[in-house]
Structure 1
Amino acid sequence: MKICVLGAGALGSVIGACLAESGSDVYLVCRQGAHYQALVTRGLELREDGKSRMVRVNVATDCDTVGPVDLVILLVKSFDTEAAMAGAGALFGPETVLLSLQNGLGHEEILKEIVGAERVIAGKSYVGGLLVEPGVVLAGRHNQLTRIGELSGQISERVLRIAAEFERAGLRVEAEENIQGKMWDKLLVNVATAALCSITRLTFGELFRLASMRDCGVAAVAEGIAVAKAIGIDLTEDNPCEIWDRIPVGLPFEFKPSMLQSIEKGSVTEIDYVNGSVVRLGEKYNVPTPVNRTLVTCVKGVERNVELSRAATV
């Protein structure tokens, strides 16, 4: 299977490297910069379970050099979805499928408008990826599921083919009928941890050591569960404490969610698509979300501080 990972940052590099190692024809598309240069000159260094190995990958900065593929895995930041797809036309042949593994909610509606509903498959991944330095990625994939499914709810042949390709690469995958519920399951994980890590600058390991962080994270998840129930989403788990306790299992102590990685790079975060989604839907369905609203406000403040600090050094 010829696969393009569009948005090959930390997680995209991990998934792409695993697929490439198992024999898939993989192309990583990322922005021109230090990470791209490292991938071109020496390949990708994948660190996993205390060991390191080099993986040779195909890498490009534009989709025209890649050409039509069987599968596009979309992993750009939520706010870059439309811009990324505007330059992705060369990837799409008659049978090309688009799988979004992005954080947050709402991407599929945008993508259906761009490429057509018949091409779009939804998914969420619990695999961890941390960009240690350009060309070096820390992976957390053991016992971490990736869930994919048709928006129609059927288990199609193409979903099963993609799942088999991932499984061959050592990436655990479940083909789901209730993909909407599974997307909310992953949203609740991000709601619990992404904003808190971004505000405190703590790694997962440090975050889960503090009882005060647990109290706040559990409260944020409880609000998300209330919103999901108001909408009619069929969640796998509706106990916020159990959701919190399960989150760090299988991930490295030093793991950082992508939102914190964005803050550390001086970039805008996806807070509007994560905790912000809970707030917006809470307003629509008359469910109070004060904890998530506060977390969104605090992350916006952190973003502004980063922006001011960056401007002061120019």
Structure 2
Amino acid sequence: MKVAVLGSGAMGCLFGAAFHRAGADVTLVDVNAEHVGAINTRGLEVDLRSGAETLPIRAALPHEVTEPVDLVLVFTKTFHTKAALEGIAAAIGDDTHLLSLQNGLGNDRRLAGFVSDERVMVGASMLPSDLVGPGRIRSHGEGYSRLYPAFGGDPAMAQRAADLLTQGGLETVLDPKIHEGIWSKAIFNATMNPLCALTRRTPGFLGANAESRATILAAVAEGVAAAHANGVMLDGQPIYDLTEVSMTDHADHEPSMLQDLNAKRRTEVDAINGAIVTAAKEAGVEAPVLETLWHLVKLEETKLAN
């Protein structure tokens, strides 16, 4: 399988490495020329709990991708999706499938403008990964991923992708209820990401303070209510459980929103908190804690711009 990973930061490299281990022909695509150059010069350095390795994976800038691939795995920021896919138009052929493992809600429709609906897949992964330098990532937590065709249909390609990822060391399963999984991840991210970003601390700090724990409980409850109001009847307990795992097993992991604010970059809070709050209100439900976290992160973004 020929795979292009579009947006090869911490998570993109983690998944690209798994596809590579399983024998796929992988190209890591990113706009960060220093990162791309480092991977091409010395390989992708991957630091896992099981040990460190250096993998000889090809990396490329978007304009260097000139041939169609079987699968484009999309890991860009949600607000870059359209421009990023347009930038690798040569990679998207008549049989190319697109798979989004991005944060937030609505990614299926963002991909649907580029290929037919039956070639759009979506997924959710709760694995942690940090970009520690050009060409270097670290993932010291456990987790698994799930995926499925976004709009139903033949899951054969999704099964091929899941099998390769599992073979490459990242357990991945097919989940016909994938939209419940996407909502669950969005609720988790809408809770933990803003709190880490606003306090400038990792999840371990949140676990050590009663104030943050109370906010976590309230935020998850609001997210679950919003999902239910939108007909997504997910179970909230696994989300609560995952926040505990985050505060213990992933205590030192820097969530993406924290990384973004530290790097003075725009966050994905609109596609995460904003999308949940908007969906809640459209269904007649309020989500005041999630909305407050959304607004506070937007204020932090405004500070960075001044």
> 1:57 maps to what in 2?
57
Indicate the SS of the match to 1:115: coil
Task: Return the alpha-carbon distance in structure 2 between the equivalents of residues 92 and 232 of structure 1.
Answer: 33
Of the candidates 267, 270, 276, which is equivalent to residue 269 of structure 1? 267
How many residue pairs end up in the alignment? 306
Sort the Cα spacing of 1:21 and 1:109 in 2 relative to 1 into closer, same or farther, 3 A: same
Q: CA RMSD in A?
A: 1.9
Task: Return the alpha-carbon distance in structure 2 between the equivalents of residues 228 and 192 of structure 1.
Answer: 14
> 1:188 maps to what in 2?
187
Stretches of 4+ aligned residues off by more than 6 angstroms:
none
Sort the Cα spacing of 1:249 and 1:153 in 2 relative to 1 into closer, same or farther, 3 A: farther
> 1:32 maps to what in 2?
32
> 2:166 maps to what in 1?
167
How far apart are 1:236 and its partner, in Å? Answer: 3.8
Task: Return the alpha-carbon distance in structure 2 between the equivalents of residues 163 and 50 of structure 1.
Answer: 21
Task: Return the alpha-carbon distance in structure 1 between the equivalents of residues 209 and 134 of structure 2.
Answer: 31
Sort the Cα spacing of 1:121 and 1:18 in 2 relative to 1 into closer, same or farther, 3 A: same
Indicate the SS of the match to 2:181: helix
CA distances 1:119-174 after superposition (whole Å, capped 9, x unpaired): 101111112111112221111453x1111011234562211111111111011111
Task: Return the alpha-carbon distance in structure 1 between the equivalents of residues 89 and 221 of structure 2.
Answer: 40
CA contact (8 A) 1:63 1:91 kept: no
Sort the Cα spacing of 1:243 and 1:139 in 2 relative to 1 into closer, same or farther, 3 A: closer
Task: Return the alpha-carbon distance in structure 2 between the equivalents of residues 146 and 249 of structure 1.
Answer: 20
> 2:112 maps to what in 1?
112
Task: Return the alpha-carbon distance in structure 1 between the equivalents of residues 78 and 19 of structure 2.
Answer: 23
> 2:20 maps to what in 1?
20
> 1:298 maps to what in 2?
296
CA distances 1:155-206 after superposition (whole Å, capped 9, x unpaired): 6221111111111101111101111111111111101201111111111222
How far apart are 1:256 and its partner, in Å? Answer: 1.0
Sort the Cα spacing of 1:19 and 1:83 in 2 relative to 1 into closer, same or farther, 3 A: same
Correspondence 1:197 to 2:200: no
- Provide the TM-score with structure 1 as the length reference: 0.91
How far apart are 1:50 and its partner, in Å? Answer: 7.3
Identity within the alignment, %: 35
> 1:232 maps to what in 2?
231
How far apart are 1:47 and its partner, in Å? Answer: 1.2
Gaps of 5+ in 2: none
Sort the Cα spacing of 1:182 and 1:114 in 2 relative to 1 into closer, same or farther, 3 A: same
Indicate the SS of the match to 1:47: strand
Aligned partner of 2:232: which letter? I
How far apart are 1:109 and its partner, in Å? Answer: 1.0
Correspondence 1:41 to 2:38: no
Sort the Cα spacing of 1:297 and 1:145 in 2 relative to 1 into closer, same or farther, 3 A: same
